[in-house]
Structure 1
Amino acid sequence: MSITEFISGAPGERQAVLTALHEAIIANDPTVMPVVKPMMGKEMILYEERSYMKYGLATTKNHMSLHCLPMYMNPALHQQFEKLLPDAKFQKGCINFKDEAAMPVAVVVRLIIDCSAVSIAEMLEKRKR
């Protein structure tokens, strides 16, 4: 499945925010390549750095999610964006949201810019040694 097919398969009211978030990730983190793959039993857009998932964008029955591995590994980053996105629901490494009001693209751009400097691939490859 292509990225376009994934987004167009989402409910109509979600397509614009999914497109905007996808474009924000691609424009602000040149280390990743998007691909639709299964994760946690659902297909989602995974943004991979050298075949390692760095971000994931998903849509479920009740909400959308942005999975963010750099945020999971950085509590200060997590706390910073939890304050900037008060209408979203934060878990350890993902942000659940219902619409763009809960997940303003301008704030997500800041998150991705901050996360782009983190090399998930480097960290995971060092752990293997």
Structure 2
Amino acid sequence: MSKPANTPEEYIASLPEERQAPVSKLHKIILKNLPEGFETGMTYGMIGYFVPHSIYPQGYHVDAKQPLPFINLASQKNFIALYHMGIYANPKLLEWFQEEYPKYSSTKLDMGKSCIRFKNIKKIPFELIAQLVTKMTVQEWITTYEEVVKK
């Protein structure tokens, strides 16, 4: 990208053609299933889904000017990445996701602490991602964040 995108739509339009459809589909699925109170925009050069300052004025402990991040979606060099802070902070949610993943995808789960990597864009488990997005409300995320992440 030659200049940073200001909106999720600009971000998606700036991607290589083969990445636009899967990133757009993930974005739409996240928006459709995201619990009430979360907002979306561009954060850290990615599409971000976050708790706005109007709900959580303290913001992100790393940079209080930033809203509290929850999910980010990005097209990286070799994969599409979904960063889900709830998976990072909640072992039960992580366990659920790891158990469900093989039911929805024939590819091996490739993930880091909060990053789910989709290297094969034709095998993204969209239905599972839709379910994952619904698993934590704004208040549950704030509570988990304050108890586990913020320390």
TM-score between both structures, scaled by the size of structure 1: 0.82
- Asked if residue 94 in structure 1 is aligned to residue 115 in structure 2, the reply is yes
Question: What are the equivalent positions in structure 2 for 1:1-129 lying under 5 Å apart?
Answer: 1-29=6-34, 30-38=36-44, 43-50=45-52, 51-86=67-102, 87=107, 88-116=109-137, 119-124=140-145
Larger radius of gyration: 2
1:28 and 1:116 in contact (8 A); partners too: no
Q: Assess, with a 3 A threshold, how the Cα gap between structure 1 residues 85 and 100 changes in structure 2: closer, same or farther.
A: farther
Please report the RMSD computed on the Cα atoms of aligned residues, expressed in angstroms: 2.3
How far apart are residue 32 of structure 1 and its match?
1.4
Change (3 A) 1:101 1:62: same
CA distance in 2, matches of 1:107, 1:124: 23
Kindly state the Cα deviation for residue 31 of structure 1 after the two structures are TM-superposed: 2.4
Contact 2:33 2:130 in 1 (8 A): yes
Structure 1 residues not aligned, in runs of 5+:
none
CA distance in 2, matches of 1:118, 1:80: 20
Tell me the percent identity. Answer: 27
Residue 100 of structure 1 deviates from its aligned partner by 4.1
Unpaired runs of 5+ residues, structure 2, are 1-5, 53-66
Secondary structure at the aligned position of 2:135 is classed as helix
Larger strand fraction of residues = 1
- Return the TM-score normalized by structure 2: 0.71
Which has the larger displacement, 4-13 or 82-91?
A: 82-91
Alignment partners' CA distance in 2, 1:116 and 1:103: 24
